[in-house]
Amino acid sequence: MSTEISPIFETDFIKEMVRQMRAVDTYGICNGWSPEKILDPFVLTKEKKAEIPLVGDPDEETISRVKCLYNAISVLIEKECKLMAVPLVHLTHEGFGRALITVGKLVVADKTLRDVHRFGFTSLSKMKDEADKLLSVALERIGNYPEAAGL
């Protein structure tokens, strides 16, 4: 059994995701858990996804994971541009809604959310790729509209 840790766990995004997940763990259930175990609920293989019904309402843990993702992206935006990034996740009880991240008066990220009860990624690498895309777009928008962002 290899004890070698994947390089993805050394990235700022994954470290921030672990921090965000620990922050919502108000009862300390995750104390002592490895980053792999903490982030495991974000990985939804095809087999796991097939077990989840097509129609359903998201539970509080799933909604919390969605919020952690956008909180982590917001923190990375703040680190890059030194301006406060504010995430807003609005969902109906059926799991449809929107995630926004604003910097100043500027909406830097806007993502439509559907079927949140089936929220997850095929791998942590895919999750990081999605976050990197959102981060890149957000930073580009801040660069294009510095007055609205408050620079």
Per residue in 56-73, pLDDT (tens digit) is 899 999 999 999 999 999
Across the strands, what pairs with 107? 102
57 neighbors 117 (Cβ within 8 angstroms)? yes
Cα–Cα distance, 36 to 120 (Å, whole number):
15
Please, what CATH class does the domain formed by 7-149 belong to? mainly alpha
pLDDT at res. 3: 56
Q: 3-class secondary structure for 2-47? A: CCCCCHHHHCHHHHHHHHHHHHCCCCCCCCCCCHHHHHHHHECCHH
Kind and range of the H or E element at 60?
A: helix 60-81
Assess whether pLDDT exceeds 80 at residue 2. Answer: no
Give me the pLDDT at residue 1, please. Answer: 44
Tell me the average pLDDT across 9-34.
95
Where in the chain are the domains?
7-149
Quickly state the pLDDT bin for 4 (edges 50, 70, 90).
Answer: low
Torsion of Cα atoms, 137 then 125 then 32 then 10, to 10°: -70
